[in-house]
Structure 1
């Protein structure tokens, strides 16, 4: 029997962005509902890409944990820790971030409520045309490519004028309010991190803000159903993020892995902490000092995993390249300039599993 496909649910008039197109895909949640043992061929990864499950993570592996409350007060130890995390890891976790537990709880509940809707109801919020907002999947560029074992909802959230509320489910009481409260508090956290990174890159706290001007925010709700053969599939294929910064809220189920020194390692959840990672734009702006690191998500056999990714990114017409404060005789320019819309169209037009290769197109070859 053909599986239902997450696809067009609206009219041609509101095509949204010019980022590119993503093909409709089967609903993984529905596949698992119909047959918990099913793993269709199109989801089975090539041998070289399949996850390896470690019984015990290396004791020496610890993604840096930063006390956000101290960082925001200018604590020198936490600032040094942020610098180290951005240089060596590209990832860190933050605690004491000030986002109220109630706000987090309600956002998690809103996400859970969406994925508990019937397929018919979820399909009312499907992606349309060129707009990646809505229920579906991104980075699907051919009918032959391997698919990720996940469903998602992608919504533009800030500033309010970029929202398309036809993708915001009205059948879930309080969804809009919960999303607005969460996105506002997440924005404050990301802006404070950017201010600290700005100082570390040789500018004042508003240096990055002056460069990129007004930013946009989007939130991606990720749902990873259990899989009867988790060693054959990937929840999300390896990739780096084509944004400035990503703030991730995980549930208690592990699944996030990052590539560190050519090995895949887990980033285990800390209750109510955020995982933060540097995006491609920051890597380029920092002239390679800070790293946008490849990461992926794996699945498990018994439990669904959910996460909320909040992304901060510039407007399409921004041209970005290494900041002048990051270029000198000892640190020659490593990347060429590019318009953000051109970079997005390039990255969205490629398969996500091509990993970290996207930012490499911007690297200058010397000699």
Structure 2
């Protein structure tokens, strides 16, 4: 089997959600090789990829009834239309934290180009991919099934991630990254993702304005907070899996970041846990899926929900998705704006920096529905 897993530390689990357990990441680097073709030829599914039945039940039979927001209203100057869109966002974020946007200003051709660059990355020889692997606790680089972090419940996927600095003076920061880790042949790939990240940044700031309006605060508050951020771009590749009933492409989790902007291909597989059941998020080629993350949940003092979600794998078809995780600058202090809090409303979370939460999820804890609570417990114990 083309996978080596080196581990010495013990695993601790926490019951954090009905029928959901999580595993702490390993405290040292692990070596991983993910070759789905070879793994598929094994007589039995490798145990590292088998998820507990409690995480696999209730495959969605219904679709999420999330609103479809027309973002063109944000440039229209029509305050009534903007208020109506904000109200739809508010209702969705109070309930489950998911909505989709259309007329978002991101060129469909650019999205198509970004998908065209996914396969050249994941079709590289395994040694080339491993030469660009993500370091333990880091962000950027290749990961095969996240086996550099976990020893069990591995996701059936490969990822390639990189940081996009909103304030970087260079208009070629992503180009330079691709050339440095994958070589000159990937210069064009770097240019495509450079443009994609620039478009995602601009879109994210518009959405931040809409979120501020929906919460009844200064329209520019969150825009200003995130305009100098350090966001994360990720390409996801989910190979077909003949034992798809035993594994997951991404396990149940809430995003620890602030806002997730996702485009999924038409294969489908994204599911949200809402109303005590798993429901599917319909792929829409013209739309982008937006979901609230833990950090924005804290910025809204817990009003807006960072919802549990997962991704299935397909037995016959490859699945791809493009994800932009919106994050503040790493040293920004995360706290809700004062005018969001009513006189008798207590703070639900203490102040923290994004870098401290991110380090916790990368080095100590596998993100789940209770990441924030576990982070504050851990942080308190470290300061005793």
TM-score scaled by length of structure 2: 0.81
Specify every segment of 5 or more residues in structure 2 that has no aligned partner in the other structure, as ranges. Answer: 7-26, 378-384
1:359 aligns with 2:372: yes
Closer/same/farther in 2, CA of residues 42 and 263 from structure 1, 3 Å limit: same
Is 1:3 the counterpart of 2:3 in the alignment? yes
Contact map agreement 2:59 2:278 (CA 8 A) in 1: no
1:67 paired residue among 61, 65, 70: 70
Would the alpha carbon gap of residues 140 and 341 (structure 1) be closer, same or farther in structure 2, given more than 3 Å must change?
farther
Q: 2:284 aligns with which of 267, 270, 275?
A: 270
**How far is the alpha carbon of 1:38 from its aligned partner?**
5.3
* SS of match in other structure, 2:322: strand
1:339 aligns with 353
Local SS of the residue matching 1:205: coil
Distance (whole Å) between structure 2 residues aligned to residue 311 and residue 192 of structure 1: 15
Which of 96, 111, 120 aligns to 1:104? It is 111
1: CA distance, partners of 2:227 / 2:108 = 31
Given that 2:335 and 2:351 are in contact with CA atoms closer than 8 Å, whether structure 1 keeps it comes out as: yes
1:10 alignment partner in structure 2: none
Whether 1:128 and 2:135 are equivalent positions in the alignment is: yes
CA contact (8 A) 1:65 1:95 kept: yes
Q: CA deviation at 1:226?
A: 1.0
| Corresponding residue number in structure 1 for 2:268 | 254
Change (3 A) 1:349 1:124: closer
Supply the RMSD in Å over aligned alpha carbons. 2.7
The question of 1:43 aligning with 2:46 is answered no
1:300 maps to 2:305: no
Distance 2:149 2:119 in 1: 30
Q: Deviations over 1:225-264 (max 9, x none)?
A: 1111111101111111111211001011111111112211
What SS does the corresponding residue of 1:322 show, helix, strand or coil?
coil
Q: Which residue of 2 aligns with 1:314?
A: 328
CA contact (8 A) 1:227 1:301 kept: yes
Residues 5 and 147, structure 2, Cα contact 8 Å, conserved in 1: no
Deviation at residue 330 of structure 1 after TM alignment: 4.3
The CA distance in 2 between the partners of 1:97 and 1:48, in whole Å, is 37
Note the C-alpha offset of 1:104: 0.8
Which residue, 91, 95, 99 being the options, matches 1:88? 95
Measure how far apart 1:140 and its partner are.
5.3
8 A Cα contact 2:259 2:290, kept in partner? yes
Matches within 5 A, 1:199-238: 199-211=213-225, 214-238=228-252
**Does structure 2 conserve the Cα–Cα contact (< 8 Å) formed by 1:227 and 1:300?**
yes
Q: Deviations over 1:141-160 (max 9, x none)?
A: 76643211111001112334
Contact 2:132 2:141 survives alignment (8 Å): yes
Q: Alignment length, in residue pairs?
A: 346
Distance in 1 (CA, whole Å) between partners of 2:136 and 2:302 is 35
List gaps (5 residues or longer) in structure 1: 7-19
SS at match of 2:195: helix
Aligned counterparts of 1:319 and 1:312: Cα–Cα separation in 2: 15
Judged with a 3 Å threshold, the aligned counterparts in structure 2 of structure 1 residues 2 and 57 are, in CA distance, closer, same or farther, namely same
SS in structure 2 at match of 1:185: helix
Contact between 1:249 and 1:274, CA under 8 Å: does it hold in 2? yes
Q: Please state whether the residue corresponding to 2:94 is helix, strand or coil.
A: helix
C-alpha change, 1:4 and 1:117, in structure 2 (3 Å) is: farther
Per the alignment, do residues 44 and 107 of structure 1 end up closer, same or farther by CA in structure 2, a change over 3 Å counting?
Answer: same
**Equivalent residue, structure 2, for 1:9:** none
- Return closer, same or farther for 1:270/1:112 CA change in 2, 3 Å cut-off: same
- Report the CA distance shift for 1:319/1:21 in structure 2 as closer, same or farther (over 3 A): farther
Supply the distance in 2 between the matched residues of 1:278 and 1:313 (Cα, whole angstroms).
11
8 Å contact kept, 2:136–2:149:
no
Native 8 Å contact 2:261 2:290 kept in 1: yes
Tell me the alpha carbon deviations over residues 247-296 of structure 1, each in whole angstroms, 9 at most, x when there is no partner.
00101111111111221111010113110011111111111111111111
1:113 aligned onto 2:120: yes
Q: Does the 8 Å contact 2:360/2:375 carry over to 1? A: no
